[in-house]
Amino acid sequence: MRVIDLTHPVATGMPVYPGDPEVRIDRALSVSDDGVEVARLELGSHSGTHIDAPSHSIPGGRTVDQLPLDMLVGSALVLRPQVRAAAEIRPEHVVLPDRLPGIVCIATGWDRWFSADGFLRGEAQRHPWIALGLAEELWRRGARVLGVDTLSPDRSASEGEDGQPPQLPVHEFWLGAGGVIVENLTRLDQVPVEPQMSLLPLRLSGVDGSPVRAIAWERAADASA
């Protein structure tokens, strides 16, 4: 079975959403001095490839440790709309079956900008975003986990007008309905259109999100074809 890693490495100085805590990894203990190697991690709950639990933007919403695991493992569909940077992805940009699996990911190819160089050039925050109408249609057809290879399914902070942060209509709708969002996926272009996925977070008590180790693999029928 070929397993595809959909996760960006977590490392000191890695890109983060504007305003989020920076990531720093230091040595806390060493084999030479302490007999064991232990690292100290400093990072926000939405660092790298991560999951947004409903409590991320919905008061009283479920926290990451309250999410059912069977919601985050199983059949998925990868949509590949042809859109330019800083463009809205609307329903007419994708072809949808009548019934969707619980996990739907949207591959835009923007993940190539998820690097320090990409952020410095300003390309990183000019990512495509999802129209509320598309999010509503995905939910209506059965999706409950929405994955993107961008900073956010909404426009990012740098896209706001007059120095004000933008609204987050997709977050408010999707998380408000009890779904979850996975951001900063990578290599979605390398997976089958209908893979199996695992998007498991750390079991952080009462926390609004968590880094995940996201993976995909072929369904058994596809692999034997």
CATH number where 40 lies: 3.50.30.50
Q: Say if CB 131 and CB 89 are below 8 A apart.
A: yes
Band (160; pLDDT cuts 50, 70, 90) = very low
Number of domains present in the structure of the chain: 1
Residue 24 has which token pair?
Answer: 């720093």
Question: CA–CA separation, 193 vs 184, rounded Å?
Answer: 18
Q: Is the pTM of this model over 0.85?
A: yes
- The whole-number pLDDT of residue 119 equals 65
Distance of alpha carbon 95 from alpha carbon 34, whole angstroms: 57
127 is a domain residue:
yes
- What's the alpha-carbon Rg for the chain, to the nearest Å? 18
Which of the four pLDDT bands, split at 50, 70 and 90, describes residue 115? confident
Query: pLDDT tens digits, residue range 184-217?
Result: 999 999 999 999 999 999 999 999 999 999 999 9
Q: Are the C-beta atoms of 26 and 143 separated by less than 8 Å?
A: no
Is 224 contained in some domain?
no
User: Does the residue 175 lie in any domain?
Assistant: yes
Residue 213 has a CB neighbour count (10 Å cut-off) of 14
Indicate whether 225 belongs to any domain: no
Is residue 28 a part of any domain in this protein? yes
Q: For residue 117, tell me if it sits in a domain.
A: yes
Distances (CA, A) of 125 to 111, 156, 178: 11, 6, 27
53 or 222, which is more confident: 53
Structural domain of residue 48, as residue ranges? 3-219
Cα–Cα distances in angstroms (integers) from residue 121 to residues 69, 87, 125, 152, 154, in the given order? 38, 18, 10, 19, 21
pLDDT digits (tens, 9 = 90+) for 71-97: 999 999 999 998 877 899 999 999 999
